[in-house]
Chains A and B, each alone.
Chain A
Amino acid sequence: MRFPLAFAAAQLCAGIAVAQEIPPSERRSGTNFMSAETQAIQADDGSNPGMLWVLQGGSLWDEPAGASRRSCASCHGEAATSMRGVAARYPAFDAASGASIDLAGKIDQCRMTRQHATSLPRESEELLGLTAYVGHQSRGMPIAPPDDARLDAARAEGKRLFQTRMGQLDLSCSSCHDANWRGRLGGSAVTQAHPTGYPIYRLEWQTIGSLQRRMRGCMVGVRAEPFAYGSAEFVALELYLAERAAGLAIETPAVRP
């Protein structure tokens, strides 16, 4: 009698600590939670303000930069072919640094090591533009995290962070986005937190922003100290989020309320 009871108690504790993950059949992009009007803004390239950054990224792609006087296009050619599907498999493992790297980090690394140009700060118009332009080339493709054993440790760390309660409100990402994604918080849909359309044009920001900016907003919301831009913690979280959203279509640049 003692063993089953202890087992049941352990199950209950586990149930409280870690919310059930969303089954693949119920995964839905944040687009499905938006009003019809906001969906219409995103669907039409003529009214999606994120396209302004895609345009900017497109001209930066062809612009020579740094001491090498080479542009992205000098090596990669037409982004429509060379960058198709790239955003779908990021974050990826970076052999040079021996760590995982996200798309914005990879673009900046390429800038510094190959173009010999200055680093672009995170959330700068230029880096957001380039990331949006590269991400846009994969629009409509399913998120396909690489099957790379070197990423396993970081991915597991990301999952752990996702399920770790933090801040004065003592909430984990999972407390809302796994356990209560059907609910509403202060009138807004909670959603499942799938990174399908980053960088996103957020109406609240009135500008485009990265997934890390979005996560920092949530961390400030639960009154935790946000991780730094480009930190290993954020890349680990991005890795886990990509695995969690595997198969959902990329929408970059998405519009969110």
Chain B
Amino acid sequence: MSRTLVSVPKTARAGEVIDIRAMIAHPMETGYRMGPNGQAIPRKIIRHFACDYDGEEVFSAEFHPAMSANPFVAFSTVATKTGTLTFRWTDDDGKVETASAEIAVS
């Protein structure tokens, strides 16, 4: 089940700077905590986040254990052409969650 929330303007003028926000439901378990039974809770975090604009990467970030659960990323890019923004979150196991949004540029 997809648990992502991305916010991209539906329309923009060419050359305009647009704000993009992306959030994903994820525990971001650090691996440093103990469970009630005294055993370490295995680490489970998102390692890499990237955003492609019509196939070209415009933003990426490395995530680390100190980040909160359900990480929220905000960044900006320049609207160049009508197309699709694709978001990818890659976790420790290599599992990839994706989301996408369309933007119309005039």
Is there an interface contact between B72 and A47, defined as CB atoms closer than 8 Å? Answer: yes
- Say whether B66 faces chain A, with CB atoms less than 8 Å apart: no
Q: Which of B1, B24, B70 contacts A206 (CB 8 A)?
A: B70
Which residue of chain A is the closest to B71 with respect to CB atoms? Answer: A49
Q: Kindly state the separation between the CA atoms of A4 and B80 in the bound complex, as whole angstroms.
A: 83
A residues in contact with B2, CB < 8 Å: 55
Q: Kindly state the separation between the CA atoms of A191 and B77 in the bound complex, as whole angstroms.
A: 40
Is there an interface contact between A47 and B21, defined as CB atoms closer than 8 Å? Answer: yes
- Say whether B50 faces chain A, with CB atoms less than 8 Å apart: no
A55-B3, A56-B1 are known contacts. Are A49 and B70 too (CB-CB below 8 A)?
Answer: yes
Is there an interface contact between A59 and B1, defined as CB atoms closer than 8 Å? Answer: yes
Is there an interface contact between A47 and B1, defined as CB atoms closer than 8 Å? Answer: no
- Say whether A207 faces chain B, with CB atoms less than 8 Å apart: yes
The count of residues in chain B whose C-beta lies closer than 8 Å to any C-beta of chain A is 15
- Say whether B103 faces chain A, with CB atoms less than 8 Å apart: no
> Separation in Å of the A143 CB from the closest CB of chain B?
27
> Separation in Å of the B99 CB from the closest CB of chain A?
11
> Separation in Å of the B33 CB from the closest CB of chain A?
12
Is there an interface contact between B23 and A47, defined as CB atoms closer than 8 Å? Answer: yes
> Separation in Å of the B18 CB from the closest CB of chain A?
13
Contact with A along B92-106 (1 / 0, CB 8 A): 000000000000000
- Say whether A130 faces chain B, with CB atoms less than 8 Å apart: no
Is there an interface contact between A46 and B5, defined as CB atoms closer than 8 Å? Answer: yes
- Say whether A254 faces chain B, with CB atoms less than 8 Å apart: no
- Say whether A52 faces chain B, with CB atoms less than 8 Å apart: yes
- Say whether A51 faces chain B, with CB atoms less than 8 Å apart: yes
- Say whether B7 faces chain A, with CB atoms less than 8 Å apart: yes
- Say whether B60 faces chain A, with CB atoms less than 8 Å apart: no
Which residues between 58 and 103 of chain B lie within 8 Å of chain A, taking CB atoms?
A: 68-70, 72, 74
A46, A47, A206 interface centre (most CB from chain B within 10 Å)? A46
Is there an interface contact between A49 and B23, defined as CB atoms closer than 8 Å? Answer: yes
Which residue of chain A is the closest to B19 with respect to CB atoms? Answer: A46
B residues in contact with A53, CB < 8 Å: 25
Q: Kindly state the separation between the CA atoms of A204 and B37 in the bound complex, as whole angstroms.
A: 22
A residues in contact with B1, CB < 8 Å: 56, 59
A46-B7, A59-B1 are known contacts. Are A52 and B23 too (CB-CB below 8 A)?
Answer: yes
A47-B23, A52-B23, A52-B25 are known contacts. Are A206 and B69 too (CB-CB below 8 A)?
Answer: yes
Is there an interface contact between A206 and B5, defined as CB atoms closer than 8 Å? Answer: no
Q: Kindly state the separation between the CA atoms of A250 and B2 in the bound complex, as whole angstroms.
A: 26
Q: Kindly state the separation between the CA atoms of A46 and B19 in the bound complex, as whole angstroms.
A: 12
B residues in contact with A56, CB < 8 Å: 1, 3, 25
Binding site for A on B (CB under 8 A): 1-5, 7, 21, 23-25, 68-70, 72, 74
The 9 closest A-B pairs by CB, nearest first: A46-B7, A206-B69, A52-B25, A49-B70, A46-B21, A52-B3, A51-B5, A206-B68, A52-B5
A46-B23, A55-B5, A56-B1 are known contacts; what are 11 more A-B pairs with Cβ within 8 Å? Answer: A46-B7, A46-B21, A47-B7, A51-B5, A52-B3, A52-B4, A52-B5, A52-B24, A55-B2, A56-B3, A206-B69
